[in-house]
Structure formats: C-alpha cells, structure tokens
Amino acid sequence: MFQIRIHGRGGQGVVTAAEMLSIAAFLEGKDAQAFPSFGSERMGAPVVAFCRISEKEIRSREPILNPDAVIIQDKTVIESARAFDGIVDNGFVLINSPADIETNLGNARVKCIGATEIALEQVGRPIPNAVLLGSFAALTGVIKIDSVIKAINTKFSGKIAEKNVKAAQVAYERTLGEV
C-alpha cells in the first residue's frame, strides 16, 4: 500500500488533489481511498487530505500516520500542521515552493517545485493541485501522467481542464528532467 498525505489551506484544492490522486489510481485498476481530515474547511484554514493506493481492497480508514509521501501545497503550514510527522524512511516529499527548502528529513527524497507559479502561468489561477500531481507522478512513479490527465478531466471541464492538464504536464516534464 502507498499512503499519501497532502497538506495545505482551504481553497487550494487539497481535498480535490487527494480525490484526483485516487481517481488516477482507480483508472490504473488499483484500489484507492481518498478522504479529508474533516475539519471545518474554511478558506485559508489548514487542511489535510489523505490518499491510500493499493493492489488489494483497502479496509482501514484511520488518518495516515506514516505516509510514504507528503505533498505540501502551502509551505506555511509545514510547521504548525507538523506536516512531516511519521513519514517513512526514504519517503517522498513534494513541496510547492519555487526555491529549495531545508527539511532536515534525513534520507527523504525531497523535491521542491513552484507549482503556484506554473498554475498562474498555465491556468491563470493560483491553485497548485493539478500541477503537483503531475510532479508527483514523475517523482514517485506511483501513478502515470496519463492517469493524472484523465483524473483532471473528470474533475474539470472545458478550458480549465485543458489548462490544468497542460500545467500538470509541464510539472511532470520538469520533475522528470530533474529527478
């Protein structure tokens, strides 16, 4: 089983990111579970969402305490949300940040990418979720970029979908090149 925990703030599409991740995995024939941390998700408040991906039926529903990967959509919540707590040895960390960030996470595989910037460029909105999923696909190989694209198209339509797909692809290519 591969467990992903996504941190961010309300309004940034954290929950949608987890859902799209689960849809991408589902499209590849896997079992996937996605759910939010059920706080009051007001705009700007810290939000956590979870996604589990497995070849077998997923039965447990506890919050993800030992993530294989952590995605940070908003770096300002890292400390207060204790975003890296419990991450497995050699786990993945993907941070929405144009500049590299010091994480002190030992042998974690950390990648920083300016997802908000790419989103603004490609989509015209500062919502980094689809972008980060593109990067995630390249970073971890857990899901394919084609699945990410299909998942984006289930959640969005028209021009917004097209642009988010483009943005995800840009992130994917860039991360692939750098990993």
Partner 1 sequence: MLYQLEGSQAVARAIALCRPEVVCAYPITPQTHIVEGVGELVRNGQLKNCQYLNVESEMGAISVAIGSEAAGVRSYTATSSQGLLYMMEAVYNASGLELPIVMTLGNRAIGSPLNIWNDHTDAMSARDAGWLMMFAENNQEAADLHIQAFKIAETLKCPIMVCMDGFILTHAYEKVDLPEQEEVDEFLPPYKPAFSLDPESPCAIGAMVPTTEFMEVRYLAHLRQLEAKTVIERIGKEFGAKFKRNSGGLIRTYHTEGAETVIVAMGSVLGSIKDTVDDLNQTSGGNKYGVMSVVSYRPFPDEQIREALKNAKRVIVVEKAFALGRGGILSREIELALKGLDIEIITVVAGLGGRVITKTMLAEAFQQTKNKLIFLGLREDVIQQEYKTVLDERRA
Residues 4 and 70: their CA atoms lie apart, in Å, by 6
Write out the two tokens for 95.
């941070």
Nearer to partner 1, 34 or 170 (CB): 34
Q: How near is the Cβ of 57 to partner 1 at its closest, in Å?
A: 9
Residues 95 and 75: their CA atoms lie apart, in Å, by 7
Report if residue 170 touches partner 1, rule: CB under 8 A.
Answer: no
Contact map string, positions 31 to 50, toward partner 1, x by CB under 8 A: xxxxxx-x------------
CA distances from 84 to 6, 95, 172 (A): 10, 11, 23
Nearer to partner 1, 18 or 72 (CB): 18
In DSSP terms, which residues pair with 94 in a beta bridge?
A: 71, 111
E strand or H helix that includes residue 36: strand 31-36
Residues 61-100 that bind partner 1 (CB under 8 A): 61-63, 65
Q: How near is the Cβ of 118 to partner 1 at its closest, in Å?
A: 25
Residue numbers at the binding site for partner 1 (CB under 8 A): 18-19, 22-23, 26-27, 31-36, 38, 58-63, 65
